[in-house]
Amino acid sequence: MDNTVLVLGARGRLGGAVAQAFAAAGWRVLAQRRSGGIPAVAGGGIEWVQSKAADTATLQRAAAGARVVVHAMNPAYTAAAWRAEAPGLMQSATDVAAALGAHLLFPGNVYNFGAGMPAVLAPDTPQRPTTGKGLIRVDLEQQLAQAARHHGFAATVIRAGDFFGAGSGSWLDQVIVKKLPQGRVTWPGSRDAPHAWAYLPDLAQAFVRVAETTPATAGGRYECLHFAGHTVTGQDWLAALTDVAWEQGWLPADGALRTGTLPWGMMRLLSPFNATVASLLEMRYLWDLPHALDGAALARRIGSEPHTPFGDAVRTAILALDLGPRGANAAGPRTGGTVTQGA
């Protein structure tokens, strides 16, 4: 096998970041997408493969000799879509990996542990999901483990917290900083609860390092590694966002961001009529429950975890979103900041 990776779902945020990271590391990258349109990433050693995930024969031919497959495909964020589509997407990924004899990498999340989870989550922490999405994630990982052992290919789950950076489509841009150019931030829960976050460029590099450190004799081995990322509070986020707002000239005249909360009560009323709102409401507990990922096993495997300093990661992520023009009072970078509770 050569250093070729097939990224399934490469037009998504994680898939695109992983494709770029593998290409930067000198791998030949085959990036799967379902249909036409402008690719999320292009060039630099990335070759596009247009195919539906279910067309595993086409994917196997295109990726002949590939050493690694990354499953980065995701259904829409509703319980119905996950139930209907997620098992089939996993089946396609495992079929391709089995046919190629490739190492299959899959991103995990913290949904598996449920509302009673401890403050620190290790790879061997018992999984006791309390939501429909959590149950589905547990089932997917079990499906992956069984396929790896049955077909004799290596499989690794790399579990991480909420994504930020490398594009839009997350809590950060959809909710938290949507009105940052107007000097406002919306925080979904407790501002004091530590919360696990993953800066996608760092996580993508971790995928590459896991692929590069998995021995060729690892066939049939299933493992789960945790990516520690950034464990930070809402206050930490607000301080970092204040620095960016200062630099961009987005702070109000008194130099303090205004903060609001999500209208969870209204969302509860809407949830029977809107599947996406219902799915967001189901995971509300994560914003008030302290949690962190223990990355010791990953660090032992790959050396130090890729880790961009939090302030630098936030600044890069926010500027890449192109939220709005710099204000008249734009200034140079600063450290520190002031946050006030506002209407």
C-alpha distances in Å from residue 75, one per residue of 78, 82, 258, 324: 8, 6, 34, 30
Structure tokens at 281: 């409401």
Architecture of domain 4-166+196-230: 3-Layer(aba) Sandwich (3.40)
Query: Could you give the CA distance from residue 247 to residue 106 in angstroms, rounded to a whole number?
Result: 37
**What pairing do the DSSP bridges indicate for beta strands 292-293 and 256-261?**
unpaired
Structure tokens at 189: 């829960």
Match 């609001």 to its residue by tokens. 260
The residues spanned by each domain of the chain are: 4-166+196-230, 171-193+231-288+308-341
Q: Going residue by residue through the chain, which has 343 residues, state the pLDDT in tens, using 9 for 90 and above.
A: 579 999 999 999 999 999 999 999 999 999 999 866 545 455 567 999 999 999 999 999 999 999 999 999 999 988 899 999 999 999 999 999 999 999 999 999 999 999 999 999 999 999 999 999 999 999 999 999 999 999 999 999 999 999 999 988 888 998 999 999 999 999 999 999 999 999 999 999 999 999 999 987 778 899 999 999 999 999 999 999 999 999 999 998 888 999 999 888 888 898 888 888 888 889 999 999 999 999 999 999 999 999 999 999 999 999 999 998 887 677 765 544 444 443 3
Are the C-beta atoms of residues 148 and 104 closer than 8 Å to each other? yes
> Nearest CA to 96 among 49, 136, 133, 43?
49
